[in-house]
Structure 1
């Protein structure tokens, strides 16, 4: 008899056997078992200890998490109507379960009793941290609310899980549904040959002539960046910028969802006694108050704005030289690329020819192997799609420390963007230590016309970024589930290892070893690398204020914006742009409608984390600059004090242990050429 693959925890996930019909039976069985066990743990009369109370609860959480992660991952990378239905049918069950768990006064009381007992002092640092985090999370989960308010709080959680999932689906559906066909070769002038070949093959697959362009990034971005036809750029930009809005199908419009999500978040925060959702969100982050975050962003904005204004003036002047006297949003990437080619005498397209996939991966692995003293080896495991592959990370003594899946190419029915997720978390069990396993997912262009996949330098940085998250998960040395890897790490410090890894993409001794021209095999010429470095901070001012714009919008949306008032999220983003932006999109731009980071992705009142953590990562990397960028000693220290520690202590303590002092902004400004 076939066993449900989602209920097999003996090894790696059985993706080759997983069916949508497996989801509901597995979730029902896991939740039913968990409720029985929790009832026993909550009503036990013996004094709570780590072994008789916390560990059994973590056992339950781990199994549910491992099963559901497989479902949510496949739903994101090989989405189908049947799988989506199974996912959406079961999401409320899980939300309901976790809401009940977070509000169980008996469990909360037993955690408090353990915290106040003599047994607490005999626990290790990681175990005490887990208990402290649990007490905080019970308060944030509504455990202290009166019964009637608990019911309302739980209902809010359930509604939010469905609304945020729907928000993401609307973006995916709008993106997948769009196609723009072009038959006139003059219209596609300037678009790179590999992008045109992909577009031609896509059109043929649909039984059409010419070229098919979509809103998937590898199709969309080359048009914005290189197409000489201004009307074609505008057509695609308009479609991309209005995704999931009132300009498309009513059932895919995120406008009402945004309002509902914001109202529910505000109500949730008020129930817990917070003035707003941002205050509630920051309760588990490094930053203390919304005001502190806004001050941080304002300080950074003041440093960046003169550079941003200078960037914009230069771009506008150059656009005029190209005959574009009224530069619009759909011209910015195109004019920027032309200006960069003119100023630094190279193009993204030229650089891309030197970064074939196999060479890039070998170069990435070489960095990991050098600074951490491990080996990365291709391995085998069941996967969800032919594009995906599997690897082991092994220590010099042959011990397996981590494993990861890699799924690099964009395709239909795959969520956009790039991300890392946890498949299995490191944890000590009776049989030994569970090896941590990560999912690393990107959306790059795949192989075309017999040539290997070629990556832009930006994509190489994205790969290094996601691998940094993966290392945080896989190189942990913490054996306790709740603070192992990225678990328990403050959200605004989670980006430290990922952004840290990006720095290596700007080092000659790293980059030269990961390049080979796709046609000649030649290494990236030093002269071209020098031009890339010279251009590294091209428009850094503009890019910085753009991130600040998104961060301020997010923080204000969740702190001083009234979702019940007459003003809309669109009004707010225009206000923020008045204060900080140098590039003004058209009024019909619907950026908030596809800002899934904050409406569907866990970054609500936390988007500032990218800049906050960039201060940490740049400052951490500056120690490598001082000791040698591939310094084994510094690499081991980074592993030992930051990656290995996971969430077992506050992120600031880990940073200080590595850097020897508190972080400052200087390295970030220097790296961005804004330290004059």
Structure 2
């Protein structure tokens, strides 16, 4: 199997247009053949339907990636339109009663469990698309789905393109790392520009001594996307509610939860409150320490907000745990971290990475690697890890091609926005996390069915494998293999121990902050408040330890409201499982081949071919529990 050959820059727009036209035409031809001459066997029927899915997925994958990362705005726009066209056809097919009747009449007798699972999932897709509704309702659902795609694109585009700036004299940035200052020279007016992009805003909020500068940067960060995105979100929530009720659900959260591990929309606030209660005591303990340090500079303060919290967290960690993040970051030079990540994951999962120096890429900072196992290529990965204008602003894994045994090579892309020089350790952890998604995609790329290829598990399990991989970014022996100072000295083990202890500080209120986000995600969809800022403030007061900052509208740049919709709870749901998964590893031997291989083969490689709960139970030898997470949170 050969990798996808991407075009040269000058040909990219024509290539996208041709690929979209040809891919959609091929899918329609297969549909016509299926409709006119249904196969004699159910297995062949399922295979033909899966091939239609593959053709559509191939178009959608490239379009989704390049809509978010391609340097040429015209290419990004073409890709957004291609996404709309794919979604339109997918909706059309899932609402086609004649196709449904063919699939519904199929006899599952004799199918293996995975093929039978695919047949069941396909029938469920038809039902959730409203195939049994009247013509008028189906037309309305088609309109809703198309508009949902457009609104989601506009919402994300606004976040991506809305880069706020703060300009201040260099002396007001005292405390920020020198390498950051070196990379940000003053302009002709003697001012240094700090943008709202993560490589700028995070160091400014963590290290700058000037409280007013920290506040300006924080406010700029929290104002991104507003006011443009508020009416888009109102429309998004209304459309989702209408879709859900048309196909028989009480609300969008119920519709969305029905295909997740949690199953019930009403179980989401129950889970949120369970985590909030478990985190309450640790939150209060750590928040009091934070406030105690804050009051030394702001006597009489009774609350702290996010314009100051990161800075004072750093001070608490320095003073209580002797952890200076500026010293820590000197051990994490980006090129060494990237190579260390490849070395660690190669050893853990039994793969090797070969640089592909002649691969066509969309930007000169993108690198490509072939992934090999036992000498055979099993996938190709692309790393697009630094910020630039017009690029997706967060961190995510994008599919380029689904891996299918004997049919198609697994290809994926890691898209991040890290510094090109020294990294905060939090960003190292994020890199490990996101790379976990990329590996999951590749390692689950040897199955038979498109529907179950790659990261195709229930959405509230998707984060668990990546959250577990973060543990390797906290282990002293692992870090010492690549985290070295400019003189080549490995990071001291006792410093890593203090870093871990310092990281434990604040996990209670961080969990509560996550529940604030999860509650916003859920209640915005179920209550659909008229004033999103007021509703956000109410939920922040209920769940978050940090006070609201006037004239900020964080929800407008909370991209997960588009992708995760009402289900942001899934990050914490996954973390509960991740802690239990990690309990199977020996902390003194994180590379033990038996357990690592069993985890790779039983949890990652199956993709979505089985329920996530069954994959976890197969690996652990028992159902997952809340116990490991509760113990970690309480310590």
TM category, shorter: over 0.9
Q: Any conservation in 2 of the 1:282–1:288 contact (CA below 8 Å)?
A: yes
Between the aligned partners of 1:418 and 1:592, the Cα distance in structure 2 is 18
Aligned to 1:6: none
Between the aligned partners of 2:587 and 2:203, the Cα distance in structure 1 is 38
Q: Any conservation in 1 of the 2:63–2:82 contact (CA below 8 Å)?
A: no
**Mean CA deviation greater in 83-92 or 583-592:** 83-92
**Partner secondary structure for residue 437 of structure 1:** strand
Between the aligned partners of 2:588 and 2:210, the Cα distance in structure 1 is 49
Aligned to 2:240: 265
Matched, 1:199 2:184: yes
Aligned to 1:411: 388
Give the C-alpha shift of residue 369 in structure 1.
2.8
From 467, 479, 501, the counterpart of 2:448:
479
- Flag the 1:628–1:433 CA change in 2: closer, same or farther, 3 A: farther
Give the C-alpha shift of residue 648 in structure 1.
0.6
**Partner secondary structure for residue 491 of structure 1:** coil
Between the aligned partners of 2:113 and 2:89, the Cα distance in structure 1 is 29
From 93, 98, 102, the counterpart of 2:94:
102
Q: Any conservation in 1 of the 2:361–2:367 contact (CA below 8 Å)?
A: yes
Matched, 1:81 2:73: yes
Aligned to 1:654: 615
**Mean CA deviation greater in 456-465 or 27-36:** 27-36
Between the aligned partners of 1:285 and 1:139, the Cα distance in structure 2 is 16
Aligned to 1:555: 522
Give the C-alpha shift of residue 45 in structure 1.
5.0
Aligned to 1:611: 572
Encode CA deviations 1:579-602: one digit per residue, 9 max, x unaligned: 222112224220111111122x2x
**Partner secondary structure for residue 88 of structure 2:** helix
Q: How does 1:418-567 map to 2 (within 5 A)?
A: 418-428=395-405, 432-446=406-420, 453-476=421-444, 477-487=446-456, 489-517=457-485, 519-559=486-526, 561-562=527-528, 567=530
**Partner secondary structure for residue 619 of structure 2:** helix
- Flag the 1:151–1:19 CA change in 2: closer, same or farther, 3 A: same
Encode CA deviations 1:78-127: one digit per residue, 9 max, x unaligned: 3433123323433332222111011111221222122xx1xx23222221
Between the aligned partners of 2:484 and 2:545, the Cα distance in structure 1 is 38
From 108, 121, 132, the counterpart of 2:120:
132
Q: How does 1:221-370 map to 2 (within 5 A)?
A: 221-246=202-227, 253-323=228-298, 325-326=300-301, 327-370=304-347
**Partner secondary structure for residue 391 of structure 1:** strand
- Flag the 1:258–1:163 CA change in 2: closer, same or farther, 3 A: same
Aligned to 1:578: 541
Between the aligned partners of 1:297 and 1:469, the Cα distance in structure 2 is 24
Between the aligned partners of 1:445 and 1:472, the Cα distance in structure 2 is 25
**Partner secondary structure for residue 38 of structure 1:** helix
Matched, 1:663 2:624: yes
Between the aligned partners of 1:244 and 1:369, the Cα distance in structure 2 is 39
Give the C-alpha shift of residue 608 in structure 1.
0.7
Aligned to 2:138: 150
Between the aligned partners of 1:372 and 1:84, the Cα distance in structure 2 is 35
Aligned to 1:179: 165
Listed as ranges, the gaps of 5+ residues in structure 1 are 1-8, 247-252, 447-452
Between the aligned partners of 1:574 and 1:21, the Cα distance in structure 2 is 47
Matched, 1:629 2:590: yes
Aligned to 1:249: none
Q: Runs of at least 4 residues of structure 1 off by over 6 A?
A: none
**Partner secondary structure for residue 511 of structure 2:** helix
Encode CA deviations 1:495-542: one digit per residue, 9 max, x unaligned: 12111100111212211112111x211100122112112212110111
Aligned to 1:62: 54
How many positions carry a matched residue from both structures? 630
Matched, 1:20 2:13: yes
Give the C-alpha shift of residue 55 in structure 1.
2.4
Give the C-alpha shift of residue 32 in structure 1.
3.1
Listed as ranges, the gaps of 5+ residues in structure 2 are none
- Flag the 1:595–1:86 CA change in 2: closer, same or farther, 3 A: same
Encode CA deviations 1:5-31: one digit per residue, 9 max, x unaligned: xxxx96323143542243334323332
Between the aligned partners of 1:231 and 1:258, the Cα distance in structure 2 is 31
Give the C-alpha shift of residue 370 in structure 1.
2.7
- Flag the 1:284–1:627 CA change in 2: closer, same or farther, 3 A: farther
- Flag the 1:46–1:631 CA change in 2: closer, same or farther, 3 A: closer
Between the aligned partners of 1:10 and 1:392, the Cα distance in structure 2 is 11
- Flag the 1:123–1:68 CA change in 2: closer, same or farther, 3 A: same
Q: Any conservation in 2 of the 1:48–1:113 contact (CA below 8 Å)?
A: no
**Partner secondary structure for residue 287 of structure 1:** coil
**Partner secondary structure for residue 382 of structure 1:** coil
Between the aligned partners of 2:82 and 2:407, the Cα distance in structure 1 is 30
Between the aligned partners of 2:15 and 2:110, the Cα distance in structure 1 is 43
Give the C-alpha shift of residue 325 in structure 1.
4.9
Between the aligned partners of 2:433 and 2:334, the Cα distance in structure 1 is 16
Encode CA deviations 1:528-572: one digit per residue, 9 max, x unaligned: 11211221211011110001111122122223x045xxx423233
From 349, 352, 375, the counterpart of 1:398:
375
TM-score by length of 1: 0.89
Q: Any conservation in 1 of the 2:64–2:83 contact (CA below 8 Å)?
A: no
Q: Any conservation in 1 of the 2:576–2:626 contact (CA below 8 Å)?
A: yes
**Partner secondary structure for residue 172 of structure 1:** helix
- Flag the 1:374–1:612 CA change in 2: closer, same or farther, 3 A: same
Between the aligned partners of 2:470 and 2:379, the Cα distance in structure 1 is 21
Between the aligned partners of 2:351 and 2:151, the Cα distance in structure 1 is 43
Give the C-alpha shift of residue 48 in structure 1.
5.1
Between the aligned partners of 1:588 and 1:50, the Cα distance in structure 2 is 58
TM-score by length of 2: 0.95
Give the C-alpha shift of residue 474 in structure 1.
0.8
Between the aligned partners of 1:613 and 1:403, the Cα distance in structure 2 is 26
Matched, 1:386 2:386: no
Q: Any conservation in 2 of the 1:388–1:408 contact (CA below 8 Å)?
A: yes
Give the C-alpha shift of residue 42 in structure 1.
1.9
Give the C-alpha shift of residue 143 in structure 1.
1.2
**Mean CA deviation greater in 10-19 or 414-423:** 10-19
